[in-house]
Chain A
């Protein structure tokens, strides 16, 4: 299903649980090429640099700095490699930390194989992937509060349309259904979500920097 530039997507797995890697490899085999896997942060950094995959599936929680350390090491040297964070935890502090470090999306490990393949495809195309809970968190973090001054409206506020899209995402709508509901094209929905991702990464809103700084990922 996921064919770009005539070839299958090249995916790399980073997770410290070998059993989980094996499971994902088996599930994704039909959709993408899994070109390699790594169980530690240093191993991941060297293998990703060597293999140059399209998408890296990145576990949040690992020893030696977790997914965050891999992202920090790779973002500058390999900007073409896209990262999709994968975690058992839905906790906002984990998610926001990775997104702000440069991941283009976030899914939980309970995601179905088909949905995971679709998410990988979406990230490879340069779009963003939001789980319903991440959408809810973003709505919460960007809620207009009278006591918080807005430093940069372009980055620190969501447009009404973006808010609507996020609400529908949080309600469990797929992109196609959101497009239908709002009478816009799927491409427009994707643009809105990508814009939200950019704001999420760049904004200096207190709620975001607090989450990102609060907890060093382990």
Chain B
């Protein structure tokens, strides 16, 4: 059978660029978008000089701002490296803003606020607005837009569903800037320049915008729905591929093994049990690391015994705690008790119960198997003496074994966890 390869939705694999010096916007050293940093790096001049130059150019009809917006629009962002970029330091904007303000004031004083200068400013505002709408996004997202709607990437940019709040901010902010700029330009060139003319202009502009909106709305709506449907489809496809891969790797494999071993009942049971466990884990449980959590460690020990001895261990754990050296010893002792039950009791099911209490961890391993006479066995069997009783004693806990021949065995392991309960436990053990 064929298995669908999971679609790595939307991730654009960038080809490795040759080590020529390309003009990019670096991700660190940036205050706004990294344009100045990119220029400085490329030209080999100090960063501060570029920044001051841009600010001073503000004075010439807003040329600095225009340049910045243009570079921002054109330059690609640096491909992210492994390390996280340094956070931008917004406070650093202050001195440059101050310098800019100074330059503008100076220019206003010297040139008496010429009309040409104002127009330049307004154009700069329009440019920045448009720049924000189009280019705030990172290149990978832009690539995604182009992938979704190859003919009209700009439309995909406007209706892209990802990150709605950001989208709204971008759209409204940019729109306001563009509108302000256009109204300003119109008002400057309006004959007479009276307030009512400006007002009329605004009304006409709004009507015009409304018209564009009415024309474009169905199209945008359709694109929007199309994009969403496509996204949902991709997610569904990805999930299907994951399930298919899991079924192929595990279930079909196990079924094949069961068919091959159908004569060996014990082996079939072992396979079925193991498969059942892994499916259950896959369906219901968040996976925890057996080296970190007590419950996960116990469950792993139980699973190992199940696999090795073809029995089933009914595991119930109440509460959970961090794993440390002593807890690991408790788990090892419990595992040994399970192994003993699996080997000697001659039953199909063993119960494992563990409880995490405020001052103590307790584990009970119980079977209804053959049982044994403790006095006769304790001296000779290393498993019980060393691996269970001895191990628990060494770590400040205790082990009790109750067994009646013919009725079964229960191993009780207790490990105090707080200092007070530890000393109390030692005294009572004495």
Contact = CB atoms under 8 A, between A and B. Distances in A.
B355 A167 contact: yes
B280 A167 contact: no
Given A170-B353, A171-B353, A132 B284 contact: no
Contacts of B368: 172
Given A132-B353, A136-B353, A170 B318 contact: yes
B294 interface: no
Contacts of B4: none
A172 B355 contact: no
A132 B319 contact: no
B265 to A, nearest CB: 16
Q: Is the interface of B mostly helix, strand, loop or mixed?
A: strand
Contacts of A135: 316
B292 to A, nearest CB: 19
B284 A171 contact: no
Interface string B160-178: 0000000000000000000
Contact of A89 (B284, B316, B353): B284
A143 B318 contact: yes
Contacts of B353: 132, 136, 167, 170-172
Interface string A140-164: 1001000000000000000000000
B351 interface: yes
Given A171-B366, A172-B366, A143 B351 contact: no
Interface residues of B, number: 17
A91 interface: yes
Nearest to B350: A172
Interface in B291-345: 312, 314, 316-319
A90 B353 CA distance: 15
Contact of A132 (B280, B312, B316, B410): B316
B68 interface: no
A91 B282 CA distance: 12
Interface in A105-138: 110, 132-133, 135-136
B72 interface: no
A140 B351 CA distance: 18
B314 A132 contact: yes
Nearest to B348: A112
A139 interface: yes
B364 interface: yes
B29 to A, nearest CB: 46
B314 A91 contact: no
Interface string B358-385: 0000001010100000000000000000
A89 B281 CA distance: 11
A90 B349 CA distance: 16
A133 B316 contact: yes
B314 to A, nearest CB: 6
B318 A132 contact: no
Nearest to A146: B358
Nearest to A138: B318
Contact of A143 (B284, B312, B319): B319
Contacts of A89: 280, 283-284
A172 to B, nearest CB: 3
Most buried by A among B316, B318, B410: B316
Interface in A168-199: 170-173
Contacts of A90: 280, 284
Contacts of B284: 89-91
A110 B272 CA distance: 12
Contacts of A170: 316, 318, 353
Given A139-B355, A167-B353, A172 B318 contact: no
Contact of B318 (A91, A110, A140, A173): A140
Contacts of B280: 89-90
A143 B316 CA distance: 15
Most buried by B among A132, A136, A143: A136
A110 B273 CA distance: 11
Interface of B: 280, 283-284, 312, 314, 316-319, 349, 351, 353, 355, 364, 366, 368, 410
Interface of A: 89-91, 110, 132-133, 135-136, 139-140, 143, 167, 170-173
6 contacts: A89-B284, A91-B283, A133-B314, A136-B316, A170-B318, A171-B410
The 3 A-B residue pairs whose C-beta atoms are closest, nearest first, are A172-B351, A136-B316, A171-B353
Given A90-B280, A139-B318, 18 more contacts: A89-B280, A89-B283, A89-B284, A132-B314, A132-B351, A136-B316, A136-B353, A139-B355, A140-B319, A143-B318, A167-B355, A170-B353, A171-B316, A171-B353, A171-B364, A172-B314, A172-B368, A173-B366
